Amino acid sequence: MDKNIVRRLTPEEEELEKKRSELAGLEAELTQRELDLATLHAELHAFERKYQQMIGIRFSELDRIEAQITEYMAYLEASKDFKPSDDLKKLYREVAKQIHPDLATNEAERLRRQDLMAEVNQAYEDGDEARLRSILHRWQSSPESVKGEGIAVELIRVLRQISQSRDRLRGIEEELNEVQKTELYQLKYQVENAEKMGQDLLEEMAMELDEKIAEAQDRLEEIKEKLGY
């Protein structure tokens, strides 16, 4: 018998190899887009720090008032009674039955389930049925929920990984688009364009604010004089 005969792949094995190749390409693209997103966030954070140092400090009083408002709103939220509906309780039990960490077969899966259960518990505490259903749907369509061995089972896992990668790519593109619509990004874009023309836009903004602060201080002093203070 010729030992050089190579076993031909079955149709199922060929499909699995094809999908694995597709997944590898998606994962490479996903890695690059994750890097693009992380880089954009890092650049925005650096710009935000510079903005706060030059401009934000001039709004410290407003920040103090907003912080007080946030604190009082937190007190109001904390004072509300937690009264989950029967439907919410039923949905929580259904989600927990499938996701609970005690159902894990290895440590990695246990950690994954623990993270999900933390998300589930928060959604339950918030009374957010839509979020609970979303978590359940994500789990049911995840590769981790597929049990068993063999070509067919592995193909299902790879197909779900492909679906997850595509979903994450869409999510990254949406997040990039949303970030580019923010006031911070738009300001950063304007500042960078101004710098190319030799203009320090942040410095101009700071000077303008300083002038307004000085004018307001003068008005305050005038009022004090009229009141005899």
The answer to whether residue 184 sits within a structural domain is no
Q: Is residue 24, in this structure, part of any structural domain at all? A: yes
- 49-52: long-range contacts at Cβ-Cβ below 8 A with a sequence spacing of 24 or more? 50/202, 51/184, 51/187, 51/202
**Within a domain: 38:** yes
Tokens 């049925």, residue?
A: 129
Residue 151 lies in a domain: yes
Q: Is the pTM of this model over 0.75?
A: no
Number of structural domains in the chain: 1
Range of the domain at 22: 11-80+141-178
Residue 160: inside a domain? yes
In a domain, 34, yes or no: yes
In a domain, 58, yes or no: yes
Amino acid at 173: E
Place of tokens 């203070």: 229
pLDDT tens per residue, the chain (229 residues)?
455 666 788 888 888 889 889 889 988 998 899 898 999 999 999 998 888 888 877 766 545 555 655 665 565 555 555 677 888 888 888 888 877 776 666 677 778 888 888 888 888 878 888 988 988 888 777 766 656 667 777 777 778 878 878 887 898 899 999 999 999 999 999 999 999 999 999 898 888 878 777 777 777 677 767 666 5
* Burial group, residue 28, by CB count within 10 angstroms (0-12, 13-18, 19+): exposed
Residue 73 lies in a domain: yes
| CA distance readout (Å), 28 to 14, 23, 32 | 21, 9, 6
